[in-house]
Chain A
Amino acid sequence: MASTAGTAPVTTAPASDDSSRRRGLTGYVLLVPGVVWLALFFVIPFYSLVATSLYDPGGSVFSGYEMSYQFSNYWHAIQDYWEPLLRSLWYAGLATLICLVLGYVLAYAIAFKAGRWKNLMLVLVIAPFFTSFLVRTLSWKLILADGGLIVNSLQAVHLLGPDGRLLATPFAVICGIVYNFLPFMVLPLFASIDKIDHRLIEASSDLYANPFVGFWKVTWPLSLPGVVSGTLLTFIPAAGDYINAQLLGSPNQRMVGNVIQNLFTQANDYPAAGALSMILMILIVAMVLFYVRRAGTEELL
């Protein structure tokens, strides 16, 4: 295998390029149903969202909206909701960081230390997440409840004041987010770390790198693709999530998702909700692009 690897492309590369990808209509025919679906229900909705965000806020769902290119909707949305917006990014960022630490340890343990239990551990990472997201989050509510085991023990060792609580605090919300999005971090990290040739790490220790230097100079850079895709897969849904904030937090932990959902379903203020969605999307895209560029892994996208 290794001996042919260097020479094989000379003969096979042009050959496979030409023959394995067939030209002609069939390709388009296969694509059309899916593309139409995505166009109708992903791309066009996005345009409607842009349009909605520019409607005249004077209208309502029942009387209809006027398109008046109200860019001020954006300004008002930021003015009214900058707090949950920033909080979302802050919570999501912090949760992503914690997920990265926990996920890295777990992925590293599975890839390098689990031996023949590798597959089993991998299955165990995913298994809990087949239970309903909401049911799992609700059980966190019970675990962190006032008078529950954890709160009582923390109060006993005076880490928590007698009136202190965990539920309805930022701690609970971030804890929930970390818990719910951990597999999104672990799986890409595992895929990256598992690919690292163990001999490289041995080579680094052979070349006088202590385990920490070896980790920073060899393992970490090689796992970077997994780090980038893991953090993106965690951060993006976490920033838009409102289930954890709603079930484990209080109105003081309201995230932008709560606001958007309320504006749509309760307040029926579509223009403001649309503008806020757009702002969230723009912020995320901007942060992701900046981040991916900094990490030097553009090819991931």
Chain B
Amino acid sequence: MRWLRDHLVLILGILILLYTFVPIFVVVLMSFNDPSSKLIYRFDGFTLHNWLNPCEPEGMCHALGTSIQISLLATIGSTILGTLMAFALVRHDFLGRSSMNLLIFLPMATPEIVMGSSLLALFVAAGFAGQLGFWTILIAHVMFCLSFVVVTVRARLAGMDDNLEQAAMDLYATPRQTFWRITFPLVFPGILGAALLSFSLSFDDFIVTNLNAGNTTTFPMYVWGVAQRGIPMQVNVIGTLMFMVSVLIVVGSEVNSRRRTAKLATR
């Protein structure tokens, strides 16, 4: 009884955590589903068919490819622009600092539907209504990922000891050498984190994309479309793969840092 009282919060926490995994179990389970009918979404039997023929549903892999392309480009674009901005914010003095902070904060605080519809309003007003597609999606994704990159990289930069750069300069490193040998390697984990965040934000976006996509179909749009008709089980294969890849990345970095701390402990 006493044990229960001491561990109540932890047990509740673990239960909530389990709750967040319920849909993942379902996704994994359904990726092995052998559906009896396209219209009824329930587990009917085990099969490897979906895993062996992931691209069977018409258009799915094409949509997936589009999504990956857009996400990669949006990640590159937003990471570069955002990192530059973060450096300016932390390291440089300029007029209008507070309005700059507002400009970076607002996109994160605006509901996607408002952001998406205002972009659409612009594209239509500018006469691009017929050209909505890959590039308009990319523009939108870079826009809403940008703030997240700035915030992530800025935090890393601000947490960096600026004595390190001074020490490098003191040890005969020119500003360029200081940047590439000290500053950049130290900020890099932040940039990498920002890039991963951008990729997942961009890859997963539906609301903004849907409004500005024209005839282009991304993976979330494909899922949205088939959700009304009947879901091919391969969608769950992709969902499972996404989960596995991200867990691998996260666990990999965790193991890496554990190993480092273990080394520390045994010095």
Q: Report if A and B touch in the complex (beta carbons < 8 A).
A: yes
**CA of A145 to CA of B43 in the docked complex: distance in angstroms?**
12
With contacts A27-B93, A135-B236, A277-B113 known, is A119 near B254, CB below 8 A?
Answer: yes
What 1/0 mask marks residues of chain B from 128 to 148 whose CB sits below 8 Å from any chain A CB? 010000000001101100110
User: Quick one: closest A residue to B18, CB to CB?
Assistant: A124
**CA of A260 to CA of B121 in the docked complex: distance in angstroms?**
12
A61, A232, A264, A280 — which one has the most chain B CB atoms within 10 A of its CB?
A264
Q: Is the CB of B93 within 8 A of A21?
A: yes
With contacts A27-B92, A41-B119 known, is A145 near B42, CB below 8 A?
Answer: yes
Q: Within residues 242 to 267 of chain A, which ones have a CB less than 8 A from any CB in chain B?
A: 242-243, 247, 256-257, 260-261, 264-265
What 1/0 mask marks residues of chain B from 22 to 61 whose CB sits below 8 Å from any chain A CB? 1110110010000000000110000000000000000000
**CA of A135 to CA of B88 in the docked complex: distance in angstroms?**
39
Q: B239: which A residues are within 8 A, CB to CB?
A: 131-132, 135-136
What 1/0 mask marks residues of chain B from 80 to 98 whose CB sits below 8 Å from any chain A CB? 1110110111011110000
Q: B12: which A residues are within 8 A, CB to CB?
A: 105-106, 109
Q: Is the interface of B mostly helix, strand, loop or mixed?
A: helix
Q: B171: which A residues are within 8 A, CB to CB?
A: none
Q: Does B191 contact A (CB under 8 A)?
A: no
- For chain B, the bracket of interface size reads 35 or more
Q: Does B106 contact A (CB under 8 A)?
A: yes
Q: Is the CB of B22 within 8 A of A143?
A: yes
**CA of A30 to CA of B93 in the docked complex: distance in angstroms?**
11
Q: A239: which B residues are within 8 A, CB to CB?
A: 111
Q: Does A281 contact B (CB under 8 A)?
A: yes
Q: Does A227 contact B (CB under 8 A)?
A: no
Q: Is the CB of B219 within 8 A of A48?
A: no
Q: Is the CB of A134 within 8 A of B206?
A: yes
With contacts A21-B92, A34-B84, A134-B224 known, is A139 near B30, CB below 8 A?
Answer: yes
CB distance from B12 to the nearest CB of A (A): 5
**CA of A260 to CA of B112 in the docked complex: distance in angstroms?**
11
**CA of A239 to CA of B110 in the docked complex: distance in angstroms?**
10
**CA of A265 to CA of B23 in the docked complex: distance in angstroms?**
30
**CA of A264 to CA of B210 in the docked complex: distance in angstroms?**
10
Q: B84: which A residues are within 8 A, CB to CB?
A: 30-31, 33-34
**CA of A102 to CA of B94 in the docked complex: distance in angstroms?**
42
With contacts A30-B87, A240-B111 known, is A37 near B143, CB below 8 A?
Answer: yes
**CA of A124 to CA of B247 in the docked complex: distance in angstroms?**
9
**8 Å CB contact of B120 from A24, A113, A119, A264:** A264
Q: Is the CB of A114 within 8 A of B10?
A: yes
Q: Is the CB of B204 within 8 A of A132?
A: yes
Q: Is the CB of B238 within 8 A of A135?
A: yes
Q: Is the CB of B93 within 8 A of A42?
A: no
Q: Does B17 contact A (CB under 8 A)?
A: yes
CB distance from A130 to the nearest CB of B (A): 3
- For chain A, the bracket of interface size reads 35 or more
Q: Is the CB of B111 within 8 A of A270?
A: no
**8 Å CB contact of B85 from A35, A110, A147:** A35
Q: B76: which A residues are within 8 A, CB to CB?
A: none
**CA of A232 to CA of B113 in the docked complex: distance in angstroms?**
16
Q: Is the CB of B117 within 8 A of A260?
A: yes
Q: Does B118 contact A (CB under 8 A)?
A: yes
Q: Is the CB of B41 within 8 A of A145?
A: yes
Q: Does A210 contact B (CB under 8 A)?
A: no
Q: Is the CB of A45 within 8 A of B243?
A: no
Q: Does A7 contact B (CB under 8 A)?
A: no
Q: Does A16 contact B (CB under 8 A)?
A: yes
Q: Within residues 200 to 215 of chain B, which ones have a CB less than 8 A from any CB in chain A?
A: 200, 203-204, 206-207, 210-211
Please give the residue numbers on chain B whose beta carbons come within 8 Å of chain A beta carbons, in ascending order. Answer: 7, 9-10, 12-14, 16-17, 19-24, 26-27, 30, 41-42, 80-82, 84-85, 87-89, 91-94, 100, 103-107, 109-115, 117-122, 124-125, 129, 139-140, 142-143, 146-147, 150, 162, 200, 203-204, 206-207, 210-211, 219-220, 223-224, 227, 231, 235-236, 238-240, 242-243, 245-247, 250-251, 254
5 A-B pairs within 8 Å (CB atoms) are namely A48-B122, A49-B118, A131-B243, A135-B239, A138-B235
Please give the residue numbers on chain A whose beta carbons come within 8 Å of chain B beta carbons, in ascending order. Answer: 16, 20-24, 26-28, 30-31, 33-35, 37-38, 41-46, 48-49, 51-52, 61, 102, 105-106, 108-110, 112-114, 119-121, 123-128, 130-143, 145, 147-148, 179, 182, 232, 236-237, 239-243, 247, 256-257, 260-261, 264-265, 270, 273-274, 277-278, 280-281, 284, 288, 301
Sorted nearest first, the 3 A-B pairs with minimum C-beta distance are A240-B111, A109-B13, A27-B92
Apart from A135-B239, A240-B113, what 8 extra A-B contacts exist at CB < 8 Å? A23-B93, A45-B122, A119-B254, A127-B247, A132-B239, A135-B27, A135-B242, A138-B231
